[in-house]
């Protein structure tokens, strides 16, 4: 009971549940769907994360670093809920309009009809609650909700596996529905009301001021991290694109782990920094060293068994792309090492520097992708991603030193 009630352990258990169900979904759908349909599904997930990053910039990220002196927390919690709901309503209208126009370049998405709207809305809304609850350290609530959602998704995947008549449109629609019970329970836990409406102008001002740079950063960050994926199909063909997307989906589990690490650490680091910069630095050092063995073991296993993982997920035709998996594990090792730097930049509210880091990275990607892909194919794409990550880390480290925050300098105590 002591182990289960420990919040740090609950975060790990939740991540195991969430990442495990995501990995299982990737494996089953990669096996069932053809390369083209799996590419469409992977693209839907990729777009979902782009939308999430934009909405997080306006809602969750300002909430994570909000001043502790906000007295009426209940009113503020309700504000974030209603703003998120309004943004989702606007999103659904935009997607509906885009689908009505039947844009030729979006034929792959047009075939999914309006069913994908439900997936986007439910997936994004559940992500809001996950990050909200983690920021408030309501970890047990989100753990129970994620277990429920995962059970529903496993049942759905079982039905899809045994009945090949399921279409991609049906899969995405019902996948969206699996998030709905968890969303309803989350609303019951949060109990949002329209109260203390007079304070909302203050909250809105805070979110717009904090979120403006964050939103620009989110868009820039998405393109910086996904430009090579977006152009691979044009330069290297459909098979290479399918392999790259499959590898991205597999390692996306680690990306979710990193995001959870960030969502859990930032609020605590910010609170400690308001008391003492030294306390915040010690906390970042401790939590990073504690997480390093777990992340290192996961990366090591993926690196060693790269070919086996690809054969199990995509089939034998993907086995010779094992070098892509190994290259991406090197990239994720760099990303993990850079996370204390990233968190410190956010903790200090250096939003302009946060944005500029990704802007410099994106500029490098735009200038170099053609040469790298034409010269080294998928290896060139991986090299480009690694260099762009080093650019971001190097610039942010320079900014931290300039602000006299030394993350790995030995501190007292």
Read off the pLDDT of residues 320-329 as tens digits, 9 standing for 90 and up: 889 999 999 9
DSSP 90-155: HHHHHHHHHHHTT-GGGHHHHTTTTHHHHHHHHHHHHHHHHHHHHHTT-HHHHHHHHHHHHHHHHH
Banded pLDDT at 411 (limits 50, 70, 90)? low
Looking at the structure of the chain, the number of domains it has is 1
| Domain residue limits at 107 | 2-402
46 part of a folded domain = yes
- The answer to whether residue 15 scores a pLDDT higher than 80 is no
Given pLDDT bands bounded at 50, 70 and 90, which one contains residue 19? confident
Whether residue 33 lies inside any domain: the answer is: yes
- Rounded CA-CA distance 386/380 in Å is 10
pLDDT of 8 above 80: no
Token readout for 112 is 């999914």
Model pLDDT, residue 68: 62
- 410 assigned to some structural domain: no
* pTM exceeds cut of 0.95: no
- Cα 249-335-225 angle, rounded to 5 deg: 55
pLDDT at residue 63 above 80?
yes
Q: Averaged over 2-11, what is the pLDDT?
A: 70
What pLDDT score does 220 carry? 87
Q: What pLDDT was estimated at residue 249?
A: 73
DSSP 157-182: HHHHHH-TT--HHHHHHHHHHTTHHH
Say what the pLDDT of residue 126 is: 94
Report the residue count for the chain. Answer: 413
User: Do residues 263 and 135 make contact, with C-beta atoms less than 8 angstroms apart?
Assistant: yes
Task: Please indicate, yes or no, if residue 408 is contained in any of the structural domains.
Answer: no
pLDDT value of position 351: 81
Contact indicator for 84, 128 with CB cutoff of 8 Å: yes
Render pLDDT for 211-268 as a digit per residue (tens, 0 to 9): 777 788 788 888 888 888 777 766 776 567 667 877 877 787 777 678 777 777 888 8
Indicate whether 195 pLDDT > 70: no
Tens digits of residue pLDDT in 220-236: 888 888 888 777 766 77
> Is 318 among the domain residues?
yes
411 within some domain? no
Q: Is the pLDDT of residue 93 over 90?
A: yes
Q: Quick one: pLDDT at residue 22?
A: 80
Query: What's residue 304's pLDDT?
Result: 94
> pLDDT tens, 328-384?
999 999 999 998 999 999 888 888 898 899 999 999 999 999 999 888 988 999 999
Does residue 397 lie in a domain region?
Answer: yes
pLDDT at 173 over 60: yes
Region for 278 from its dihedrals, namely left if φ exceeds 0, alpha if ψ lies in -120 to 50, beta otherwise: alpha
Domain membership flag for residue 121: yes
Q: Residue 361's pLDDT is what?
A: 94
């Amino acid at each position: 009971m002591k182990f289960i009630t420990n919040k740090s352990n609950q975060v790990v258990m939740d991540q195991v549940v969430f990442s495990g169900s995501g990995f299982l979904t990737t494996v089953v759908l990669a096996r069932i769907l053809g390369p083209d349909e799996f590419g469409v599904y992977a693209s839907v997930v990729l777009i979902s994360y782009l939308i999430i990053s934009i909405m997080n910039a306006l809602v969750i990220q300002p909430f994570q670093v909000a001043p502790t002196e906000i007295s009426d927390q209940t009113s503020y919690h309700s504000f974030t809920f209603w703003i998120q709901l309004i943004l989702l309503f606007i999103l659904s209208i935009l997607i509906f309009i885009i689908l009505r126009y039947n844009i030729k370049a979006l034929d792959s998405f047009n075939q999914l009809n309006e069913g994908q709207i439900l997936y986007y809305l439910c997936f994004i809304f559940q992500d809001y609650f996950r990050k909200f609850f983690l920021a408030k350290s309501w970890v047990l609530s989100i753990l129970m909700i994620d277990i429920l959602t995962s059970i529903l998704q496993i049942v759905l995947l079982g039905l899809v596996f045994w009945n090949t008549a399921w279409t991609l449109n049906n899969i995405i629609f019902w996948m969206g529905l699996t998030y709905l019970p968890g969303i309803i329970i989350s609303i019951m836990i949060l109990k949002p009301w329209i109260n203390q409406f007079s304070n909302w102008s203050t909250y809105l001002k805070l979110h717009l001021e904090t979120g403006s740079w964050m939103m620009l950063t989110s868009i820039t960050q998405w393109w910086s991290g996904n430009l090579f994926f977006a152009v691979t199909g044009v330069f290297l063909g459909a098979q290479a694109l399918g392999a790259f997307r499959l590898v991205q989906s597999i390692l996306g589990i680690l990306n979710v782990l990193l995001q959870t690490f960030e969502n859990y650490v930032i609020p605590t680091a910010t609170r400690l920094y308001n008391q003492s910069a030294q306390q915040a630095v010690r906390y970042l050092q401790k939590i990073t060293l504690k997480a390093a063995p777990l992340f290192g073991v996961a990366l090591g296993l993926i690196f060693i068994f790269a070919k086996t993982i690809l054969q199990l997920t995509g089939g034998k035709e993907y086995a010779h792309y094992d070098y892509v998996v190994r290259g991406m594990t090197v990239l994720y090792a760099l990303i993990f090492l850079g996370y204390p730097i990233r968190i410190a930049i956010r903790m200090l509210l250096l939003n302009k520097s946060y944005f500029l880091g990704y802007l410099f990275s994106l500029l490098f990607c735009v200038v170099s992708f053609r040469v790298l892909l034409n010269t080294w194919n998928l290896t060139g794409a991986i090299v480009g991603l690694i260099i762009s990550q080093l650019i971001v880390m190097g610039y942010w480290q320079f900014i931290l030193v300039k602000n006299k925050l030394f993350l790995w300098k030995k501190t007292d105590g």
